[in-house]
Amino acid sequence: MNMFSLMESRKDSFSKTDRLICNAVNKFPDEFASASINHIIEHRGFSQPSLTRFAKKLGFSGFNEFQYQFRRDLLEKPASQSAKSRAESYADELRLSDQVLTDALLEDITDRIMNSTASYLYGTSLSRMPAEFLAESLRILGVRNVQALPADAYQVPFLSSDLFLCFSAHSGHYCAEAVNAMRKAEHRPYSVLVTMNPKHPLRSKFDQMIVFPEAPYLGNKRMILNDTLAFMMFIDRVTNLISMKLSQKSSIISE
């Protein structure tokens, strides 16, 4: 009996938390089979005792034994039931990311960028690229006072009418110091976090959070490119709407 059948056979004995874990296992099988327990605790919101109790209800001595068997089950899965290809996963990521960007959200973000005294865009490590790309794209469109901040941006002369937009896919470890400096600024700007982690450790420090679907695992590796695709989808939708608004404004002025 594989892990999915085993969970199905024991579901009548599951507590509410067990059912939530079971649903998460079915949704993110590769992650629960291969990621560290600390990663699962941080990104899925379950405690270590809850994961251990769940594993024991399935007949295992603990979560490590559960993971060992689960990995074997996934490796033995017939080819017809294998995980999605990378191309399919990327396509799904783009579709799901696009659904996050509602008309109301895009209107709000683009208005803030266009009406702020200055827009400061921030990201570190792999999240630095979308910050720089958005800054350059906005400059090309003619949006003024846009700046991609350096990683050590700890003394920025913010105004309360400014916008601080931070790209941070998961942990925020490398951007925490700059975010804390922003929060302590004499004139704190309106702040937006763009992330894949609904439980991002720095979420309470921002006025607004935009959460994209988290990149899945293929085997035991996270598909990091999915994070970049979500950020680029955000940039594409934002810059397209700003371009349209600027064109409409220009047409009105010319009339």
Q: Is residue 236 exposed (0-12), middle (13-18) or buried (19+ Cβ within 10 Å)?
A: middle
Contact by Cβ (8 Å): 148, 132: yes
- pLDDT greater at residue 37 or residue 252: 37
Domain that holds residue 21: 3-81
Contacts of 217 (CB under 8 A, 6+ apart): 28, 30, 31, 34, 35, 223
Confidence of residue 254 (pLDDT cuts 50, 70, 90): low
Helix (H) or strand (E) holding 231: helix 224-254
Q: Give the whole-angstrom CA distance, residue 206 versus residue 188.
A: 11
Contact by Cβ (8 Å): 201, 171: yes
- Percent residues over pLDDT 90 in the chain: 54
- The identity of residue 93, as a single letter, is E
Q: Is residue 98 over pLDDT 80?
A: yes
Contacts of 184 (CB under 8 A, 6+ apart): none
Return the structure tokens found at 58: 């399935």
CATH number assigned to the domain comprising residue 249: 3.40.50.10490
Co-location of 67 and 155 in the same domain: no
Sheet of 190-195, strand order: 146-148, 119-123, 163-167, 190-195, 208-211
- pLDDT of the residue at 50: 94
Q: Give the whole-angstrom CA distance, residue 101 versus residue 125.
A: 24
- pLDDT of the residue at 224: 60
Residue where the block lists tokens 């800054």: 135
- The identity of residue 26, as a single letter, is N
Please write the tens of the pLDDT for every residue from 24-66: 898 888 888 888 888 888 888 899 999 999 999 999 999 999 9
- pLDDT of the residue at 81: 47
Co-location of 130 and 161 in the same domain: yes
Please write the tens of the pLDDT for every residue from 174-220: 899 999 999 999 999 999 999 988 888 999 999 999 998 776 555 44
Co-location of 50 and 132 in the same domain: no
Q: Which of 48, 81, 114 is the last residue of a domain?
A: 81
- The identity of residue 182, as a single letter, is M
Q: Whole-model pTM above 0.75? A: no
Co-location of 14 and 70 in the same domain: yes
- pLDDT of the residue at 199: 82
Please write the tens of the pLDDT for every residue from 82-91: 455 667 777 7
Q: Which of 34, 56, 81 is the last residue of a domain?
A: 81
Q: Which of 81, 115, 150 is the last residue of a domain?
A: 81
Q: How far apart are the first and last CA of the chain?
A: 73
Identify any residues that bridge with 217 across adjacent strands, giving them in sequence order: 222
Please write the tens of the pLDDT for every residue from 160-184: 999 999 999 888 888 999 999 999 9
Please write the tens of the pLDDT for every residue from 115-162: 999 999 999 988 999 999 999 999 999 998 999 999 888 889 999 999
- The identity of residue 145, as a single letter, is N
Looking at the structure of the chain, the number of domains it has is: 2
- Strand ranges, E, within the chain: 119-123, 146-148, 163-167, 190-195, 208-211, 217-218, 221-222
Co-location of 94 and 164 in the same domain: yes
Residue where the block lists tokens 């450790």: 201
